[in-house]
Amino acid sequence: MSDPTETDSLAADAADLGVAGPLPTVQRVGTEVDGRLVSALRWGARPGVTLLHGAGLNAHTWDATLLALHEDALAVDLPGHGDSAWRDDFDYRPATNATAVAALLDALGTGPQVVVGQSLGGLTAIALAADRPDLVAALVIVDASPGLRVGDAKQVTDFLAGEQVFDSREQIVANAIAAGIGADRARITRGVAHNTRVRDDGKVVWKHHLAYPPKAAPGLPDVTTPWTGLTATEVPVLLVRAAHGYLPDDVVAEFRERVPRAAVVELDTGHNVQEQDPAGLAAAIRGVLG
């Protein structure tokens, strides 16, 4: 039960999507921010799209979407996730994450990006637009919005609050399916492989910090995000709502009222749109790219 390499699962994702031809070049890159590593996967040589995952996920959640998108991109491991360092203060608020993402983009010299963020990553993208508008050419927010309440995402919070140590990765896959976190067993299996590690004693544990909060900290970060990242900028904005996701009607209505210039599309998926309908999400992002 060895840990996968960065590209082990790409061929299977490509086969699922019917994507032919050579696989893209994917390279692990990173920088230190306040002494902590912020890591990412660079697809191609000149990223124009930066993707930020949700709570408890990692950069590989975007693999299938990027295979369908065919664009150079940067898929970031948010602090405390994937290969990025954990924070001793357990501060994974959107604004804190955005500071780390900005430092990574500055270090890599990417210039303005189409920033795609799902769930916590979507709120981080909004915070990035508010704090560093020079780095944001457009925003694609996936099943997230200011005004979203932690209780709206009870499915994922319950899942993250569950078991922390497992006998096998197959046990986690079964738990995810039972919790409604997707239904494609093969795809979930690939995602779990990238999101866990095997300890020396053979037990399997999560790579992300949210499963192991300090006793004095809550299980999830404060996701409160001001609207200013959306309302105070002129960049194009697309909201991708999952029909079976976490955005309630009242939050979507407020989004439309506060950001009338934004486009809103709905895809027939659960919350993890990038894993459940990667081709549909890629098509939506492509519409923003022009």
Q: Which residues are catalytic?
A: 119, 143, 271
* Nearest residue to 214 (alpha-carbon basis) of 102, 52, 91, 67: 91
Name 28's bridge partners: 41
